[in-house]
Amino acid sequence: MNTLTRVDRLIVTRIERPTTRVCEIHLQAADGGELPAFAPGSNLQINAGGKWNAYSLTGLGVRPREYVISVLRQGTGSSWLHEHLGIGTSVEVAGPENAFAPDLRARRVLLVAGGIGVTPILSYARAARFWGWEAEAIYSHSAAEGAYADELRELTDGALIEVEHRDQLTAAMTDRFQNQPLGTSAYACGPEGMIDLFTSVAVAQGWPTQRLHSERFSAAELDPGDPFDFRVAGDDTLHHVPAGTSLLDRLIELGHDVPYMCRQGVCGRCLISVEGGAVTHRDFVLDERERAANDCMISCVSRGSGDGLEVVV
């Protein structure tokens, strides 16, 4: 079995275009051998013309011989992938990583996808079929952009509701959340407004938040936050972080090698350990339990609260 190191090279073996704005890219090791396994919800990072972007793996992660990603044409990196990749192109990748992992106790899943957020949901539907979990899905998309709707319908044995407008989405979610047996876990990926709706509808139906899992590909810009001071464990020097500067940027400025990617609190790459002090969490990665443990933080968006923050890098 190949071991995909932190950064490695894979070869483009096939490209499909499920819609005019989405490009499906198949990647294999140069020797065609098995790649590291991955759980549904995992993403692969890819060097898109000098910009590292994450893309969800859409396939089944059991003994994979290829990784498949689907890229919506949006800005710099995704456009570069659309324009520069062809069969045989070698690309630099890292991962897989997972900030949207399954709750392995669940035997039934409710899947909700919005737009290109269908990509990790597709991997969940494949895992459900493979592991024998019962699955149903709601997919919100515009008429022209329903990539993988047929596949989702097949993987859920027809239990797919497609919607186009927000009121239809609200109605479908309300109905499906009301009618799930105890023990179902729900997974959503899509635009920010859809994830907020997913959470509020579920909570209004009495769903415990531990059963709700979501991932967003981007987040709205945050306010500059309050200034704070921090120490790095093992060093008494007090460092200042002004409003509008992130802890991540300050750590990099001080010469620490902290990995990062999205800088929006959605990918989880810039997670660091916390030894002491209070944190104002502003990310979309850590759940309530992880926040309550007060032993880690997402350094690109979260901030110290008061002056006693001590971090490990």
Ligand X SMILES: Cc1cc2nc3c(=O)[nH]c(=O)nc-3n(C[C@H](O)[C@H](O)[C@H](O)COP(=O)(O)OP(=O)(O)OC[C@H]3O[C@@H](n4cnc5c(N)ncnc54)[C@H](O)[C@@H]3O)c2cc1C
Which residues of the chain form contacts with ligand X (CB under 6 A)? 43, 51, 53-56, 69-72, 74-78, 116, 119, 217-218, 262, 266-267
Find the shortest distance in angstroms from Cβ 97 to ligand FES: 10
Q: Closest by alpha carbon to 59, among 9, 125, 156? A: 125
Least separation in angstroms between residue 283's CB and ligand FES is 6
- Among ligand X, ligand FES, none, the one that 136 touches (CB under a kind-dependent 5 to 8 A) is none
User: Considering only CA atoms, which of 236, 235, 230, 214 is closest in space to residue 272?
Assistant: 230
**Shortest reach from residue 242's CB to ligand X, in Å:** 25
String marking each residue 242-271 x if it binds ligand FES according to CB under 6 A: ------------------xxxx-xxxxxx-
Q: Does 44 bind ligand FES (CB under 6 A)?
A: no
263 binds, among ligand X, ligand FES, none (CB under 5 to 8 A by kind): ligand FES
What is the total count of residues that contact ligand FES (CB under 6 A)?
14
Give the integer Cα–Cα distance in Å for 204 and 287.
19
Helix, strand, coil in percent for the chain, rounding step 5? 25, 35, 40
Distance CA 107, CA 101 (A): 15
Closest CB to ligand FES belongs to which residue?
300
Q: Quote the DSSP letter at residue 33.
A: -
Select 61 or 265, whichever has its Cβ closest to ligand FES.
265
Distance CA 115, CA 126 (A): 18
- Measured torsion, CA atoms of residues 34, 40, 46, 51, in degrees rounded to the nearest 10: -170
Of 116, 155, 298, 311, the one binding ligand FES by CB under 6 A: 298
Residue 265 Cβ, how far from ligand X at the closest point, in Å?
Answer: 10
- 141, 164 in Cβ contact below 8 A? yes
Residues making contact with ligand FES (CB under 6 A): 260-263, 265-270, 283, 285, 298, 300
